[in-house]
């Protein structure tokens, strides 16, 4: 088939690579978000998908909005059979959805209908799910509600951050998306409507959502830290400034600390929760680089009874 691939961040690059390597389909163009300011100089930088497409010599389309007439006209001129999508980052209007013969097929990083929305991996970890995966589905105008072509499953490991899990899903999902294109072309795949039961939503996790509640059980604190790493970063406060715990491990046999209370030794830093303590392994103080929690504690000279979270 002739394909137009839509995607923007680094997590979409493995899927583009898989389609380019398949040898079976032609990736005629790539659609991505416009260049965005990045770095200290805030200079405009192309998306990772745009950079990869340019390396491969593929036409890159960067509409401000997918409903722009110039973009729609160019898409009609290309005449794609199907448009595979991975984390494109903009809503597609009906007029765009109707252009390819086989529609737009999205790779979503959950087992639909679970975790529809922008942050499925973060929510799966924060909810304590043990299994997740990726799904390919035909995009409709509803939120991740279209019929599903295929899935792959992935175990959520006890130490997984959302970054760890998303990386594995990006590569597993890349193979799924390529196989879905094959199945659509040869007619062996039919999209199956999602069940009405089991729907859960995964809205974007913003900074305020990532604030740690030390009255919550240790397992919930651990999941919050892992689910919000690397972004937006779970956080708390210490002496009026923000502190990001980057890695925290539950310690079931340490139950002597009140929620938020810090106990710092030579090589360990423990914080009380609503159940048992967690050990802080890595933290990032406001305006500083990540460091080992024990080094941070020595530097700030924690006094007995001090707490995180105010």
- Burial (0-12, 13-18, 19+ Cβ within 10 Å), 230: exposed
Token pair recorded at residue 279: 């050990």
Tell me whether residue 20 is annotated as binding: no
Coil/strand/helix, residue 211: strand
Nearest to 253 by CA among 243, 268, 266: 268
User: What span, in angstroms and rounded, lies between the C-alpha atoms of 92 and 81?
Assistant: 17
User: What span, in angstroms and rounded, lies between the C-alpha atoms of 249 and 279?
Assistant: 5
User: What span, in angstroms and rounded, lies between the C-alpha atoms of 83 and 112?
Assistant: 20
User: What span, in angstroms and rounded, lies between the C-alpha atoms of 217 and 232?
Assistant: 21
User: What span, in angstroms and rounded, lies between the C-alpha atoms of 29 and 41?
Assistant: 30
Residues 6+ apart with CB under 8 A from 129: 114, 156
Tell me whether residue 110 is annotated as binding: yes
Tell me whether residue 113 is annotated as binding: yes
The secondary element (H helix, E strand) that includes residue 2 is strand 2-7
Tell me whether residue 112 is annotated as binding: yes
Q: What angle do CA 291, 292, 298 make, to 5 degrees?
A: 100
User: What span, in angstroms and rounded, lies between the C-alpha atoms of 86 and 3?
Assistant: 13
Q: Which residues pair with 238 in a beta bridge?
A: 241
Q: What angle do CA 125, 36, 109 make, to 5 degrees?
A: 25
User: What span, in angstroms and rounded, lies between the C-alpha atoms of 286 and 99?
Assistant: 48
Coil/strand/helix, residue 136: strand
Known binding positions: 110-113
**Binding residue ranges for (6S)-5,6,7,8-tetrahydrofolate:** 110-113
């Amino acid at each position: 088939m002739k394909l137009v691939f839509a995607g923007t961040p680094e997590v979409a690059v493995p899927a583009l690579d898989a389609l380019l390597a398949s040898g079976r389909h032609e990736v005629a163009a790539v659609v991505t978000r416009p260049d965005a300011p990045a770095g200290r100089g805030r200079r405009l930088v192309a998306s990772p998908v745009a950079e990869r497409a340019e390396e491969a010599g593929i036409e890159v389309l960067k509409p401000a909005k997918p409903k722009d007439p110039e973009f729609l006209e160019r898409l009609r001129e290309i005449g794609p059979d199907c448009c595979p999508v991975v984390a494109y980052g903009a809503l597609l209007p009906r007029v765009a959805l109707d252009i390819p013969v086989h529609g737009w097929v999205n790779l979503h990083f959950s087992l639909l209908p679970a975790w529809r929305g922008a942050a499925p991996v973060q929510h799966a970890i924060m909810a304590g799910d043990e299994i997740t995966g990726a799904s390919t589905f035909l995009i409709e105008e509803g939120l991740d509600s279209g019929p599903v072509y295929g899935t792959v499953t992935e175990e959520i490991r006890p130490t997984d951050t959302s970054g760890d899990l998303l990386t594995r899903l990006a590569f597993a999902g890349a193979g799924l998306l390529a196989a879905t294109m094959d199945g659509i072309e040869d007619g062996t795949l039919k999209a199956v409507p999602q069940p009405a039961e089991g729907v859960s939503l995964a809205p974007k996790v913003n900074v305020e959502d990532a604030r740690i509640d030390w009255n919550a059980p240790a397992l919930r604190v651990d999941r919050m830290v892992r689910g919000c790493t690397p972004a937006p970063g779970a956080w708390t406060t210490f002496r009026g400034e923000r502190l990001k715990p980057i890695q925290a491990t539950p310690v079931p046999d340490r139950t002597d600390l009140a929620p938020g209370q810090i106990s710092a030794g030579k090589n360990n830093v423990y914080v009380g929760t609503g159940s048992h303590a967690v050990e802080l392994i890595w933290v990032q103080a406001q305006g500083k680089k990540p460091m080992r929690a024990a080094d941070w504690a020595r530097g700030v000279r924690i006094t007995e009874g001090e707490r995180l979270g105010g």
